[in-house]
Amino acid sequence: MNASEWQTEQFEQHRAHLRAVARRMLGSAAEADDAVQEAWLRLSRADTSDVENMRAWLTTVVGRICLDMLRARQARREELADGWLPEPIVIDQRAGDPEHEALLADSVGLALLVVLETLTPAERLAFVLHDMFGVPFEEISPVVERSVPATRQLASRARRRVRGAPEPRPKSLDQQRRVVEAFLDASRNGDFEALLAVLDPEVVFRGEGGASGPPVPPEVHGAERVARLVLARGTPSAPLGRPAIVNGRPGAVVAGPDRMLAVVAFTIEDGRVTEMDLLVDPDRLRNVRVCARR
């Protein structure tokens, strides 16, 4: 086996691990794939004859790439729509029980991903590499260009925020799902009064259509205006809607035979929808993956 074949074999052996690191770092499956591909390019150009632990070497390389991507994202001041991760995490509720779905939401690291979005790039890298993948601080510190004690502090600050993340509440999800089902029924039936009954009088609607999506207002306030918008725009596709958990919130997905059409996340208080976040951006919906009940 020559050096190139050996590098290829080693990379494929650790690909799943590298993708998991990148996914946690970036919160995006598409960006994680880009980071892993860049790691392969760097490996193919590097002299690794002196590398004793290829898994550790590749993990550090992916960490550097992700850190650069996070800093570039921050420099461009990319602002995610309220309530959205880079890619929504959707859990299908068609045949599930709330307790199982809450556990599934936790198992895919939903609460963690939400908290990670609030960290600085350096904090995120220190926490993910050390706490989740066991990389020593001595190996992380050169990546973040800090001393070992300073790197420990980065991870410590991140850890405190992660520990404050809310846990899923199965009973609450069960109650809120009923509100979602009532919302979908009213939308399917074009029932204005029924829709008003599930909307808080001060409900806020936020929409994100992107550059190539259908036109959608960025923000609408008030139950009557939101209800009219939903019936005018949403009723034709409402039969395709089904309840879901979206980024840990009660929500719904609208899916056609070959693509995702829309994802909506609700904030529900006292049995009524107080906030509604709609994503119809085709570019972002293309990467949405729906976790089915096991």
* Domain(s) of CATH 3.10.450.50: residues in the chain: 170-291
What is 3-84+121-163's CATH number, 1.10.8, 1.10.10, 1.20.120, 1.20.140?
Answer: 1.20.140
Tens digits of pLDDT across the chain (294 residues): 677 888 899 999 999 999 989 988 887 777 889 999 999 999 988 888 888 899 999 999 999 999 999 888 766 545 544 456 566 767 666 545 554 444 444 444 555 666 777 788 999 999 989 988 889 999 999 999 999 999 999 999 998 887 775 554 544 667 888 999 999 999 999 999 999 999 999 999 998 887 787 888 889 999 999 999 999 887 778 888 888 888 777 889 988 878 888 999 898 988 999 999 998 888 888 877 666 544
pTM given for the model: 0.58
CA distances in angstroms from 260 to 218, 279, 284, 289, listed in the order given = 20, 10, 10, 9
Q: Pick one of 3.10.450.50, 1.10.3720.10, 3.40.50.300, 3.40.50.10240 as the CATH number of 170-291.
A: 3.10.450.50
Q: Are 200 and 276 in contact (CB under 8 A)?
A: no
Cα torsion 185, 108, 112, 131 to 10°: value is 180
Report CA-CA distances (Å) from 69 to 31, 44, 115, 125.
9, 20, 18, 11
DSSP lists the bridge partners of residue 219 as: 206
CATH 1.20.140 boundaries in the chain: 3-84+121-163
